[in-house]
Amino acid sequence: MYKVMIIDDETIIVKGLTKVIPWQDYGCEVVATAYNAQDGAKTIREISPDILFTDIRMPGGDGLTMLAGLITEFPNMQITVLTGHRDFNYAQEAIRLGVTRFLLKPSKMDELTEALTTMTAKLKNLKQSSPLQTNGEGEQPAAEKPSAEQSSQGESSSFIVRKAVAFIEEHHAEKISLSDVADACYVSQWHLSKLLGKFTGQSFYDILNTARITHTKELMTDPSLNLSEIADIVGFSDTPHFSRVFKKIEGISANTYRNSKMK
């Protein structure tokens, strides 16, 4: 039986989908439900569903970021979006990120069952497919063009990295952690750390410190601020640490850099 999860902030939608669709006819079972993106993402990590029906316009959540995060962390999970948001560009972006179907509310039964049929078929193909393909000389890793699924995976990963970096830069002056950024991107800390390393070649702290030092250099043009005050403004807990990070990134001390710019 394929495990199904439903996420929607409308209780009537969740209960309706749970009862109306003949899940067992498709070899499926609804094993969990949630009413917001945060709880939904948490539950998905706990149960690893095969199929997800979800809204992407829920209070307090970023639907596209949630989708991208889930797709990067659970690449085999099949997703159908149910939404009242009738923006074609929004739908196009969701499909580009890798969702199987994008359905407008109220969805017809034949649309729901077609989506379910497609998702179960994809899951069956994934199970049957081999990670290796033969070229007549024995098994070799496939060297063909990336599949649509692989392309979507790359799009989603890139999307999440951009969101993560933007979040770090926006909140660089706060006491943020990798966990805070991961929560904002609907992925686990481990997965986000792996994505940042792969796409930027940097760790979370490298990106955070670079953002802080970039802002530091902007503040150095203000003669009314001393270095200790600047360090505090950009988020460093103590001046010695700030000085070490500045020299590591810029190659010279903060004082030397500032004096060169104040001439």
Taken in order of first residue, the domains within the chain and their CATH numbers are 2-126 (3.40.50.2300), 207-262 (1.10.10.60)
Q: pTM of this prediction?
A: 0.80
Helices 88-97 and 63-73: angle between axes, nearest 10 degrees: 10
3-state secondary structure of 47: helix
Rounded Cα–Cα distance for residues 6 and 260 (Å): 59
For every one of its 263 residues, what pLDDT tens digit does the chain have, with 9 covering 90 and above? Answer: 999 999 998 999 999 999 999 999 999 999 999 998 888 888 999 999 999 999 887 776 677 888 899 899 999 999 999 888 777 777 788 888 888 999 988 889 999 999 999 999 999 998 887 554 433 333 434 434 455 566 667 889 999 999 999 999 999 999 999 999 999 999 999 999 999 999 999 999 999 999 999 999 999 999 899 999 999 999 998 999 999 999 999 999 999 999 887 76
3-state secondary structure of 198: helix
For residue 176, which of 166, 148, 112 has the smallest C-alpha distance? 166
Q: What is the CA radius of gyration of the chain?
A: 23
Rounded Cα–Cα distance for residues 196 and 37 (Å): 23
CA dihedral 229, 232, 236, 241 (to 10 degrees): 30
Q: Are 72 and 161 in contact (CB under 8 A)?
A: no
3-state secondary structure of 103: strand
Q: Are 67 and 37 in contact (CB under 8 A)?
A: no
Rounded Cα–Cα distance for residues 104 and 85 (Å): 7
For strand 28-34 and strand 2-7, is the pairing parallel, antiparallel, or unpaired? parallel
